[in-house]
Amino acid sequence: MKWWGKILHSFRGPQTAAPVCDELEIPLASCVRHTGFRFGCQEFNPLENRAHALHRGGSLLGSRRQFVEFLRHYRPRGMAEALGIELREHCPLWAYPWWKIPADRLSPGYGWFENPEDGPDIITHFSEAGILAHRIDQEFFWQEQAVWMIGKYGYRSDRYSYIEVCELRRPGHPPAFIVLDGNHRISALSALGHESVRVLRDRALVVHEDRLADWPGVRSGRVRPDDAHAIFMAYFRSNSRWRTTEVPARIIGHPEWKKLYLPPSVSCNEDACTLMSDRLPIPPC
């Protein structure tokens, strides 16, 4: 299963028939990560910022260090903290109100894993144990490979695989497309100057704002209507208020890896990493 399998399942909900998909050419600036970071909008987006730095020939080590610092401090406990929004009631991570919310996703701690290997996506490796250095190394490889391969050979969606999206529709407004699979490719295309992208959108993955009262999470009473609408609208707005934690994630890895990628203000050994001073802000690349 791809890393995005669990996230994709969250959007689809129970499947009763084979998916019917449409191939669309959409503006790259209409694409957004499930964490609310938009593409192509000159806003902070950890993957896109790094892709731009790589394409410009910036410091590879510097871009990697910035990404590690983002991961260590992006540790949300619910949808409000993940998307940088205000909600009236706690909503667990990835409990999307437009789909039926299974009981196991209503746990306040849903989205955090006892085993750090179980995180479905590198941006959301949430575990009290910390973040595995080798999973971050995988992320480095995927991102850098996408920028190099697309830069050299172009975007070959018909030969390899399409970027998959969920469409959010608002009456009288352009839609937003949550990227379910293909965030590295989208980042690379943005860095290379593309303004549109070919995607696949399952017809069952179209969410209508004006049908909010009928969304399963709202109809069941599990999510307040105003909170459900705030979550929906977060994907049309900049995620500039994402939560940073004062206690950064522990990195689980070799001391030399920590020495290479963690800032000098962090004292590291094989068992723990302790923040010794306030971290520096992470500027867009």
Return the beta strands (E) in 96-215 as ranges: 131-132, 163-170, 173-181, 196-208
pLDDT of 274: 36
Greater pLDDT, 147 or 108: 147
The mean per-residue pLDDT over the stretch 125-140 comes to 93
pLDDT tens digits for 65-107?
999 999 999 999 999 999 999 999 999 999 999 998 888 778 8
Residue spans per domain, the chain? 5-11+20-275
Mean pLDDT score of the chain, rounded to an integer?
86
pLDDT tens digits for 14-67?
555 678 999 999 999 999 999 999 999 999 999 999 999 999 999 999 999 999
Q: Can you state the percent helix, strand and coil of the chain, rounding each to 5?
A: 40, 20, 45
Phi-psi region of 261 (alpha: psi -120 to 50; beta: other; left: phi over 0): alpha
pLDDT of 207: 98
The mean per-residue pLDDT over the stretch 261-270 comes to 65
pLDDT of 10: 52
pLDDT of 243: 78
Helix (H, G, I), strand (E, B) or coil at 195: coil
Nearest alpha carbon to residue 80 among 223, 261, 269: 223
Report yes or no: 168 and 176 within 8 Å, Cβ to Cβ.
yes
Q: Is the pLDDT of residue 5 over 60?
A: no
Return the beta strands (E) in 186-263 as ranges: 196-208, 251-252
The mean per-residue pLDDT over the stretch 170-193 comes to 96
pLDDT of 92: 93
Residue 12 binned pLDDT confidence (cut-offs 50, 70, 90):
low
Greater pLDDT, 72 or 158: 72
Which pTM does this prediction carry? 0.87
